[in-house]
Amino acid sequence: MHKTVPQALHFVKEFLPLVKGVEDRDVVLIPPFIALHPLGDALKNTSVKLGAQDLFWEEKGAFTGEIAPSMLVDAGCAYAVIGHSERRQYFGETYQIVNKKVQAALQAGLIPIMCVGEDLAERETGKTFEVIKKQITEGLKGFQIDRSEQLVIAYEPIWAIGTGHTATPEQADEVQAFIRELIRRSWGKGIAAGLRIQYGGSVKPENMAEIMAMPDIDGALVGGASLEPVSFSRIVKYDQ
């Protein structure tokens, strides 16, 4: 929950020149709902894509305060974050809600960025893999994934979000390899190999290269370090 519409537009104005010419990776900006439409216009004819922080699973109706998938598409969105730990923690999003939102996103032609992750107590009691398996299987229950491009999974250890504590690259990669194996068992080797699995949790310019060196980490879901154009551009261009 950052940036007014003018602030978001100012960010884009500063950010785009900083990543001009970067063509070998996908960059997505995910602002608050009120900034989606103006940023959608500002990002037209650029390589930077637009995403939403959430969506509702119904197309229309008496759901005051919610945003339909088609509204996001109309605003220019290509992606939607679903099941972020803060949505689960503060707004009571269940496995079933996440499942319905993923399905709604796919039906609308949006690419879901489905978030999974364990809290500190779950990690310290050895339940990380149990928690991740439950979140993956319930979140994607009933789906048929035909192309790896249809979905992004973001592993965000809750204990490392905004705390300054980052999972070691080895810790993150271990979980992400586990996620890839779960996908392989359900949808086959080809889907699992092509699926993007991101890491999110105190990602910053100083640790991005080390994180991305891991074999099962395909990108980053960046929080605080994405709020400033230079910082985020350094993350985007981590190996340049």
Q: Specify the amino acid at residue 199.
A: Y
Q: What average pLDDT does this structure show over 97-121? A: 96
pLDDT at 43 over 80: yes
84 is known as an active-site residue: yes
CA 223 – CA 90 distance, rounded (Å)? 17
| Buried-state track 122-145, b at ≥16 Cβ within 10 A, e below 16 | bbeeeebeebbeebbeebbeebeb
Strands 152-155 and 27-29 come out as unpaired
- pLDDT at residue 145, rounded to an integer: 86
Cα–Cα nearest to 26, from 190, 224, 198: 198
Q: What average pLDDT does this structure show over 42-56? A: 97
Domains of the chain (ranges; CATH) run: 5-15+28-236 (3.20.20.70)
pLDDT at 51 over 90: yes
Q: Give the tens place of pLDDT for each residue, 151-208.
A: 999 999 998 876 767 689 999 999 999 999 999 999 999 999 999 999 998 899 999 9
Q: What average pLDDT does this structure show over 13-36? A: 97
156 is known as an active-site residue: yes
Q: What is the mean pLDDT of the chain?
A: 95
CA 197 – CA 173 distance, rounded (Å)? 10
Instruction: State the catalytic residue, choosing from 58, 149, 156, 228.
Output: 156
Q: Are 230 and 186 in contact (CB under 8 A)?
A: no
Cα–Cα nearest to 39, from 54, 26, 55, 28: 28
CA 84 – CA 218 distance, rounded (Å)? 18
- pLDDT at residue 162, rounded to an integer: 67
Instruction: State the catalytic residue, choosing from 37, 84, 93, 122.
Output: 84
- pLDDT at residue 160, rounded to an integer: 80
More confident residue, 76 or 169: 76
CA 82 – CA 69 distance, rounded (Å)? 12
pLDDT at 5 over 90: yes
Q: Are 206 and 167 in contact (CB under 8 A)?
A: no
pLDDT at 27 over 80: yes
pLDDT at 232 over 80: yes
